Amino acid sequence: MTTIGFLHPGQMGVTLAATAGTKPDVLTIWAGIGRSAATAERARSAGLTDVGDCAALCEQADIVVSICPPAAATEVAEQVEGLGFDGIYVDANAISPATSKTIGAHFPRFVDGGVIGPPATTPGTTRMYLAGSDAAEVAAHWAGSALDVRAISDSAADGAASALKMAYAGWTKGSSALLLAVNALAEATGVTDALRAEWDLSQPGLTERSQRLAAAVSPKAWRFAGEMTEIADTMAEAGLPGDFHAGASELYQRMAEFKDGPQPLLDEVLGHILGDTVNHSVNHTVNHSVDDTVDHTR
């Protein structure tokens, strides 16, 4: 029997646990103390065993999987190291290779990881990439499950799995931020109606894509901010401009109030991105308060 501890069972983390937990030789555990009711409900419904606190989890687990907001990855690792954990530590968060390397230095057995795809409930949608001398051993615990786990390097030193995640999300989440940013620019300069008319002529579907994006991304934007900072750092470390993703991080921070809430309309999101600092009266068909001026969808 292999015991795998998950810190913590969020929307993605709980599916990592559920997919490992389908194997008869794997026990999945979590540490409920200090976590929210939403996390507790996810863990309960996925059949994880609550062992109480992190100390108990580290004592019982053969493998600890860190799957938390990227900005908290270092803190979680330091906590686990402080508890004397000597098994295999897997960091599956969206962090830069440099952050991964720093975290890896805390542990005698470390596996660098990165998850691509939505929460793993349907086979074929989601992959977890791993790098490290224990990567293949860890991957075996998910064999045949809905989560496709791939060992891509037998060394964690270069943070290959993290680098892959950074490159992948640099495009997906980076381009989402860029599309929201140009919507906000059009709004701030009073050309929203003209831009959408031009898009209909030359870039069909971009208005609808912007609306879908705003709805889908906003509740998670608070978490994306930290991930964009990690990507900006990764770019800079590779001698590339980090400013794209530093800007994306700021944009997502401005959307943080939508955390875990209902999906907002694009117009509400643009209002938050622009705040109160922009003069919306320029060339605009209707001239009113910030929150109202961005309403082009209703």
Using CB under 6 A, list all residues that contact ligand NAP: 8-13, 35-36, 39, 67-70, 72, 75-76, 93-94, 115, 118-119, 223, 227
What are the structure tokens assigned to 194, written together?
A: 């003209």
CB of 199 to ligand NAP, least distance (A): 28
| Pick 35 or 196: Cβ nearer ligand NAP | 35
Separation of alpha carbons 139 and 262, rounded Å: 35
Separation of alpha carbons 26 and 110, rounded Å: 19
CB of 163 to ligand NAP, least distance (A): 14
| Pick 35 or 254: Cβ nearer ligand NAP | 35
| Pick 5 or 69: Cβ nearer ligand NAP | 69
CB of 157 to ligand NAP, least distance (A): 21
CB of 141 to ligand NAP, least distance (A): 18
| Pick 92 or 274: Cβ nearer ligand NAP | 92
CB of 147 to ligand NAP, least distance (A): 11
| Pick 184 or 213: Cβ nearer ligand NAP | 213
CB of 53 to ligand NAP, least distance (A): 13
| Pick 81 or 291: Cβ nearer ligand NAP | 81
